[in-house]
A and B are shown apart, each in its own frame.
Chain A
């Protein structure tokens, strides 16, 4: 995929970090404020999509990114199921909130909910990014 003009590249360079930080904030504060793993994961996937659209990438880089994104998606799914299964193994119930609850409205509270948010964000972000890559890299498949 070809990149865009110098103006787009410069603006992308300066705002992409803020998009990442905002996505991380939405994920990590998912149990305190509106948002959560799904929204934060989509924001981080959007940052990757912005980078690909602005700077462009070759067919080989897209293939490599697709592999990495699918690995990350599987890791996210396994993390989510792992949190659920650890509730089953440690305390006897699937998806039991076995961690200490902590003080409400603090960042480290709510037991397994932040862990689930992180797992879902990895899964959703990598999944949507790999869908984008598969659809955007389609041209190379058709032309071959």
Chain B
């Protein structure tokens, strides 16, 4: 349990560095540190499926970010400048909503069961019926591709939409 808190603190520091540093390459490396910490935390809580996905996606996103930054600019010029009036206003609004959200979240988190003692009403059925009903030995594959396949279809749609968005933003034909 203590190692999870250590990784959380490390992730917070890395995320703040990623936002505040002026060199974009260093910011990407800090972002990668956050992602790999998430992967290590998944291993600590015995979730190898998620750890594998997190590691490979993190590697690919860091490589894509580095490839993009190497051919554009290295320096984030928005850091260190004086804030304009609208920016200060948006920061005030942002802080207000963060405080509102945190108070609601803390009150609702107190209602949850303790860490490691989930209620597992639906999950118990999945674990019991996973192998006999689908024949798949990996319970995660059983859930995401059989019991909850519609969720996976939605996730695939999200990825499809993001690819279409990137292709539309980066297109050559029809661009002014």
Residues of chain A having any CB pair with chain B under 8 Å: 26, 30-36, 38-39, 42-43, 45-46, 49, 53, 66, 70, 73, 77, 80-81, 84, 94-95, 97, 101-105, 109-113, 116-117, 120, 123-124, 127-128, 130-132, 134-141, 144
| A77 to B159 alpha-carbon distance, docked (Å) | 10
Residue from the list A39, A127, A135 in contact with B52, Cβ < 8 A: A39
B-side binding surface: helix, strand, loop or mixed?
Answer: helix
Complex A-B: 25 CB contacts under 8 Å: A30-B141, A32-B138, A39-B52, A39-B53, A73-B160, A84-B149, A101-B134, A102-B135, A103-B135, A104-B131, A110-B135, A110-B136, A113-B145, A124-B159, A127-B159, A127-B160, A127-B163, A132-B67, A134-B170, A137-B170, A138-B72, A141-B171, A141-B172, A141-B175, A144-B172
Question: Is the interface on chain B under 10, 10 to 19, 20 to 34, or 35 or more residues?
Answer: 35 or more
| A111 to B133 alpha-carbon distance, docked (Å) | 10
How many A-B contacts are there with CB distance less than 8 Å? 152
| A131 to B165 alpha-carbon distance, docked (Å) | 9
Residues of chain B having any CB pair with chain A under 8 Å: 48-49, 51-53, 56-57, 59-60, 63-64, 67-68, 71-72, 131, 133-138, 140-142, 144-146, 149-150, 152-153, 156, 159-160, 162-163, 166-167, 169-172, 175
* B131 surroundings in chain A (CB, below 8 A): 104
A-side binding surface: helix, strand, loop or mixed?
Answer: helix
| A102 to B149 alpha-carbon distance, docked (Å) | 20
Q: Contact between B49 and A123 (Cβ–Cβ < 8 Å)?
A: no
Q: Contact between B170 and A141 (Cβ–Cβ < 8 Å)?
A: yes
Closest 5 CB pairs of A and B: A101-B135, A110-B136, A34-B48, A31-B136, A95-B149
